[in-house]
Amino acid sequence: YTRFWPILIVLYGLSKIIQRESVPQKMWGAFWVLVGGLWLLDRLDVIYFSIWSLWPLILVVIGARLIWGRSGRNGAGLGGVSSGGGDTSSTINALALLGGFKRSNDSQDFRGGEATAIMGGCEIDLRKASIKEGEAVLDLTAIMGGIEIWVPEDWKVTLMGVPLLGGFEDKTHPTGRESNKNLIVRGYAIMGGVEIKN
């Protein structure tokens, strides 16, 4: 069965294509379908494929993601560590590829965002942020990497993530008081991990 694990990457790519409305997100999903499909064919001895043979395409895809997402992206760690101070925007977007991303957000009208860690790590501190009304949604993807989210103690966390040979873990400590600030965490952990803490 270990020969078929690249199917998980294909499924991740398909989910991006189906769930997302924007063209860049669909292209990102198509890229992972391609990588997972080639990797699966290699594991089945149909073709020879090495992930490193796609490095020019990987650079193009990463560059396109950064350009298209420049208006909403708060940073990226590519092969190194990106860190910064507090951010006041209502959404946060992070990409860590073979590197690390560390950022805090103190928006008083936090609405969510997305973070992706591919063989890297993301650490996002939301302890000074607040959800004005309703809920905020974070889409998290960890592929052979890890994502750590710190939230305020008065936030309620709802995990809706799918672990595939990985894990989603809610390590927050409930205060016992009813909260109207709900953070919904969605996404995938493929041979990686996601932790929510307060």
User: How do residues 123-179 score in pLDDT, each as one tens digit?
Assistant: 989 988 888 877 889 988 888 888 999 998 888 888 888 888 788 888 888 776 777
Residues for the chain: how many in total?
Answer: 198
Question: Model's pTM, two decimal places?
Answer: 0.61
| Residue 4 DSSP label | G
Encoded amino acid at 182, one letter: N
Instruction: Give the E-state strand segments of 2-154 in sequence order.
Output: 76-78, 81-87, 91-97, 100-105, 112-118, 121-125, 135-143, 146-150
Q: Three-class SS of residue 172?
A: coil
Going by C-alpha positions, the residue among 104, 17, 109, 116 that lies closest to residue 66 is 116
CA distances from 140 to 5, 43, 53 (A): 20, 27, 27
pLDDT at 25 over 80: no
Does the pLDDT of residue 61 top 70, yes or no? no
